[in-house]
Amino acid sequence: MADLAKNRKRLIKIVAFLALLVSAAAIWTAAAPIRGRMAAHYDVWRGHYKILLYGLPTADRPEYVRLLKERYRVQSIAVAGCIVSPSLVAYVDNYDEIVSAAADKKFGHDIFKECSDDAEKSLKHHDASAALM
């Protein structure tokens, strides 16, 4: 009988621990937008400007990344490919929102749009040049 009571207590502890783990994972996932904003504020405070990217890369992404780095010393980090969780999307979108606003303020204009437009123009120019050959 003592073994049965001992095993029951052990089982209750295991179930309680598993419930705690599930709860912690749920809280961590729900806090993704807040974590993204906090991380961005910290990076901007340190003067580290970077943009997080996810999804299938477009043809002009390498040029976009190069322009951001060369012109403004803004690093681009691909954090995921095509398969992304909703919590990762929330984290990245909130992170990038803070960094974009800080970069706009620092540089006086939307550097991300500028580099994106220039990368797209460069790709079209390259495609047109290649078609002529």
Q: Are residues 22 and 36 in the same domain?
A: no
Q: How many residues does the chain have?
A: 133
Domain count along the chain: 2
Query: Can you give the pLDDT at residue 128?
Result: 64
Q: Are residues 68 and 85 in the same domain?
A: yes
Domain of 18 in residue numbering reads as 1-30
Q: Are residues 114 and 56 in the same domain?
A: yes
Interhelix angle for 86-107 vs 111-132, to 10°?
A: 100
Does this model's pTM top 0.85?
Answer: no
Q: Are residues 22 and 45 in the same domain?
A: no
pLDDT in tens, the chain (133 residues): 667 777 888 888 888 888 888 888 888 888 999 999 999 999 999 999 999 999 999 999 999 999 999 999 999 999 999 899 999 999 999 999 999 999 999 999 999 999 999 999 988 876 665 555 5
Query: Can you give the pLDDT at residue 19?
Result: 83
| Cα diameter, the chain | 88
